[in-house]
Chains A and B, each alone.
Chain A
């Protein structure tokens, strides 16, 4: 019998792991940025700068300092959320990220919720009715779904809904953002659908296999053997038990969608975090690249934390153990 630990100990431990993960991420980020070709100073100045200008720029970005000093100030800045200013636009990186998140966050979350609304019932049907034609059809369509690249699905959806049916705009986002709410909502309709279908296809497979496990489980057999109907047993015991593995998949899917938004944003010409990263990479705007990656990592780690906490809430067996990452 394991001794259950208090929720406080767990939270402290989990928070420490979070900080440690962030530190590791910072190291990876730091190494990666040093690996980028050339001196950041060159990128700051462009072609045709004099030696003196380059030296001045080096002092400005700090690339003339020893690596350790650079690393310490790098981590220090991250810890204060000081992400610097863009080489290209000279705007605050954090401010720009904030603007971009107002597109990417609604896109990700709405797409994600729609995906759950699609995948949950269909995944359960695919498992429960595996011997019927529609159960098998759902499984085959989802197999197809995971082989379709996001951008092609986006193009197809644009072709159908924007070009043939003329129901929605094919891309773009109002310049005023969410202040022109109706326009912004309409602009997100097709991107949200694209994101949702892509996540739904892979989520469905996990829901189906979790449901299969539940249906074959001994506790469902017990409930049935003591007189419970199939649906009642599935609702009372299946949903909860099936949720445990699905939640960790949900966490990973949410993180992947958030980070993978770059493709959908390109298809629909949306000014989100992904297109900011793509532009920054093309323009070698290192502060922007670094800022986007840091904030993304932070969000990904927080999502993982939340999924972990939720799982622990549902499954008493996890409460005995310390939260591993």
Chain B
């Protein structure tokens, strides 16, 4: 029975992975391309204001006459930078805190766990808003740092649970009694064991970070112009949605395709790492 359940939806699992890779790969390719070439200079006024889509301007122009498609392409680059950096920061802080909690005394661990539980109840966006508020200037760096800090609570909570599970295993006790130091245990046993689960989670966090950054920018708390964040593009386009609806649609499609891409990638990776899950989805 077990073998039956695992083998049946295999094709679907890999299709998920490939579609995810395709979408993410597309965004990475576009982001790299913008480093050397864009259809127009993103700041140049190249056409009429709020022009509809045409052969010259695939997604029309914005209210100043800049090419909208160029800005959406640069948006890919910004989204990827934000996603990767925020997950890196969140991962570093979160994994460190989580491992420390797993090793800490009962009391300290309980306090940390309770704090994390409360922080988890707050959406990533809200925590990021507060961190942005705590900094003096709005910049891309501030937004990334804010999102990284906000994500770290989620990562710390997961790491703590995973690490505790590993620490209970017999071979850890064996390693400890044979004289391996705590740091040695962390790097030789704990991290390699929890990495597969963590990496899948990081992919999901990436999607969260991209959405949260767009929301921050939409609220006016994100990276200031000229950073063409999709969230800011959408916020500007909302005001002109009567005359140029394309501006309120195109950046959203770009954003959703990236987020779906990483979510599918995470699903696909999880299926590879844990074949038994395939049956249950």
Chains A and B in contact, CB within 8 Å:
yes
Pick the residue among A143, A152, A209, A277 that contacts B260 (CB under 8 A): A143
In the complex, B85 has a CB within 8 A of chain A: no
Q: Which of B45-53, B122-130, B175-183 binds A?
A: B122-130
A281 touches B215 (CB 8 A): no
In the complex, A300 has a CB within 8 A of chain B: yes
Query: B265 to nearest A CB, angstroms?
Result: 12
B260 touches A212 (CB 8 A): no
Q: Enumerate chain A residues within 8 angstroms of B215, measured Cβ to Cβ.
A: 149-151, 263
Interface of B is mostly: helix
How far apart are the CA atoms of A302 and B7 in the complex, in Å? Answer: 45
In the complex, A146 has a CB within 8 A of chain B: yes
In the complex, A20 has a CB within 8 A of chain B: yes
Q: Which of B64-72, B111-119, B165-173, B190-198 binds A?
A: B111-119
Q: Enumerate chain A residues within 8 angstroms of B207, measured Cβ to Cβ.
A: 147
Query: A39 to nearest B CB, angstroms?
Result: 13
Assign chain A's interface to a size class.
Answer: 35 or more
Mark contacts of B215-243 with chain A using CB atoms, 8 A cut-off: 1 yes-contact digit, 0 otherwise: 10011110000000001001101100110
Q: Which of A30-38, A76-84, A97-105, A232-240 binds B?
A: A30-38
Q: Which of A86-94, A180-188, A253-261, A314-322 binds B?
A: A253-261
Pick the residue among B118, B135, B256 that contacts A148 (CB under 8 A): B256
In the complex, B154 has a CB within 8 A of chain A: no
Q: Which of B32-40, B101-109, B244-252 binds A?
A: B244-252
How far apart are the CA atoms of A144 and B260 in the complex, in Å? Answer: 7
Query: B254 to nearest A CB, angstroms?
Result: 11
* Max chain A Cβ within 10 angstroms of own Cβ: one of B117, B118, B129, B231: B118
Q: Enumerate chain B residues within 8 angstroms of A25, measured Cβ to Cβ.
A: 118
B256 touches A156 (CB 8 A): no
Q: Enumerate chain B residues within 8 angstroms of A263, measured Cβ to Cβ.
A: 125, 215, 218-219
How far apart are the CA atoms of A68 and B214 in the complex, in Å? Answer: 39
Pick the residue among B136, B214, B241, B281 that contacts A159 (CB under 8 A): B241
Q: Enumerate chain A residues within 8 angstroms of B220, measured Cβ to Cβ.
A: 282
Instruction: Tell whether A28 pairs with B118 under 8 Å between CB atoms, given A158-B241, A260-B126, A289-B133.
Output: yes
A259 touches B234 (CB 8 A): no
Pick the residue among B114, B234, B249, B263 that contacts A151 (CB under 8 A): B234
Number of B positions contacting A (CB below 8 A): 45
Pick the residue among B115, B122, B132, B245 that contacts A259 (CB under 8 A): B122
In the complex, A248 has a CB within 8 A of chain B: no
B218 touches A24 (CB 8 A): no
Instruction: Tell whether A28 pairs with B280 under 8 Å between CB atoms, given A262-B126, A266-B218, A281-B130.
Output: no
Pick the residue among A24, A37, A147 that contacts B136 (CB under 8 A): A37
In the complex, A48 has a CB within 8 A of chain B: no
Q: Enumerate chain A residues within 8 angstroms of B281, measured Cβ to Cβ.
A: 209
In the complex, A278 has a CB within 8 A of chain B: yes
Name the CB-closest residue of B to A216. Answer: B280
Query: A261 to nearest B CB, angstroms?
Result: 10
Q: Enumerate chain B residues within 8 angstroms of A143, measured Cβ to Cβ.
A: 260, 263-264
Query: A214 to nearest B CB, angstroms?
Result: 12
B123 touches A152 (CB 8 A): no
How far apart are the CA atoms of A159 and B242 in the complex, in Å? Answer: 8
In the complex, B74 has a CB within 8 A of chain A: no
A147 touches B256 (CB 8 A): yes
A32 touches B263 (CB 8 A): no
In the complex, B211 has a CB within 8 A of chain A: yes
Instruction: Tell whether A262 pairs with B129 under 8 Å between CB atoms, given A152-B255, A300-B121.
Output: yes
In the complex, B4 has a CB within 8 A of chain A: no
How far apart are the CA atoms of A228 and B238 in the complex, in Å? Answer: 55
Name the CB-closest residue of A to B211. Answer: A149
In the complex, A252 has a CB within 8 A of chain B: yes
Instruction: Tell whether A212 pairs with B252 under 8 Å between CB atoms, given A32-B134, A147-B260, A304-B121.
Output: no
List 5 A-B residue pairs with CB atoms under 8 Å apart, sorted by A's residue number.
A24-B115, A35-B134, A36-B133, A152-B255, A159-B249
**Given contacts A260-B126, A263-B218, could you give 19 more A-B pairs where the C-beta distance is less than 8 Å?**
A21-B117, A32-B130, A36-B134, A37-B134, A143-B263, A144-B260, A147-B256, A149-B214, A149-B255, A152-B234, A155-B238, A256-B121, A259-B123, A281-B132, A289-B133, A296-B122, A300-B118, A300-B121, A301-B121
